[in-house]
Amino acid sequence: MYRFRLLALLVGLLLPAVLSAPAHAQATRTWVSGVGDDANPCSRTAPCKTFAGAISKTAAGGEINCLDPGGFGGITITKAMTLNCTATLGSILVAGTPGVTINAGATDRVTLRGIQIQGLNQTPTPGTIGVRIVGAAVVSIEDCVITAFGQQGVSDARTAGNTKLFIRNTIISNNTSTGVAGVATSPNNIELENVSLINNLFGVAAGSGNNIVAKRSVFSGNTTAGVEADSGGAVSVDDSAISGNTTGILGSGNLRVSNSDIVFNGTAFGGASVTYGNNRVVGTLGTTPTPASQQ
């Protein structure tokens, strides 16, 4: 009887403390591993299995790192965050959904670094969009491969206006629709540096209100056009290669190109465009571009 009374007393003393104990704080750095478990705390010694499992345990502004090679699954990002797999093979492979959906806050910054995002577009149910951007102030995509999606490789559909997308040292290839598409009607700014846009429907396409600047990039093998701008959209290309496309540069928007190789396309220019007179054009010219003086 004494033991039962003692046990009851201990439970009565400890239970309020347990119930009032604070939840574990989210970590600023978490880890995923090909042999991890999403029931883990996502620490270095007890990593999670997927990006989706790690995101709820990662503080806003924090970073998810890849501990070793693995396929870490699709993810929806709703806060400022970095996904970083630079030191190992980190892959996202999806069917029927986007690889990464970014729907963060109006002031949030999101970075994807060193990730291969695969959509399997020659299977019955390919992934839809490689990176679908719905909300965030700034998105950076660095050292990534985004390939084989049934729709766009990267779709920037933010409507807040004056948002930014930076893509650097990245391959975007074999997507059924556009490699990089600015599809929002609000003014969004997209900058590409050393990006290869290969074998898509369009390499890049700027819808009305979207501005795209590309430097030291490759637009090749795209089945409609390497570079395209709708009315109200703008694309500026410098020091790049636009080759092997059905049409090199196409559209009714504000299209400018300088110091670039526009070669071996079915047609070099289609629609209205402006050239600074220092490009190298080989093949059928098509529409004669408007010359612009260098300043």
Query: Is there a domain that residue 217 lies in?
Result: yes
CA distances from 193 to 68, 215, 217, 266, 272 (A): 28, 5, 6, 25, 24
Spatial distance between the Cα atoms of 22 and 224, rounded to a whole number of angstroms = 57
Q: Is residue 53 part of a domain?
A: no
What was the pLDDT predicted at 187?
Answer: 82
Residue 12 pLDDT more than 60?
Answer: no
Q: What angle do CA 261, 181, 116 make, to 5 degrees?
A: 85
Domain assignment present for residue 237? The answer is yes
In a domain, 8, yes or no: no
Residue range(s) defining the domain that contains residue 208 = 62-291
Above pLDDT 70, what percent of the chain? 91
Phi, psi values for residue 35, rounded to 5°: -115, 25
pLDDT tens digit string along 166-205? Answer: 999 999 999 999 999 999 777 889 999 999 999 999 999 9
Using alpha carbons, select from 252, 244, 161, 251 the residue that is nearest to residue 210. 161
User: Is 250 part of any domain?
Assistant: yes
Number of folded domains that form the chain? 1
DSSP H stretches of helix in the chain: 2-20, 51-55
Q: What is the largest CA-CA distance in the chain?
A: 100
Question: Alpha-carbon distance 273 to 156, whole Å?
Answer: 23
CATH number of residue 214's parent domain: 2.160.20.10
Q: Does any domain span residue 54?
A: no
Give the mean pLDDT of 34-46. 97
Whether residue 11 is predicted with pLDDT greater than 70 in this model: the reply is: no
pLDDT (tens digit, 9 = 90+) per residue, 55-112?
A: 999 999 999 999 999 999 999 999 999 999 999 999 999 999 999 999 999 999 999 9
Q: Is residue 52 part of a domain?
A: no
Q: How far is CA 248 from CA 107, 253, 273, 292, in A?
A: 36, 14, 11, 19
Say which amino acid occupies 2: Y
Mean pLDDT of the chain: 91
Question: Is residue 2 assigned to a domain?
Answer: no
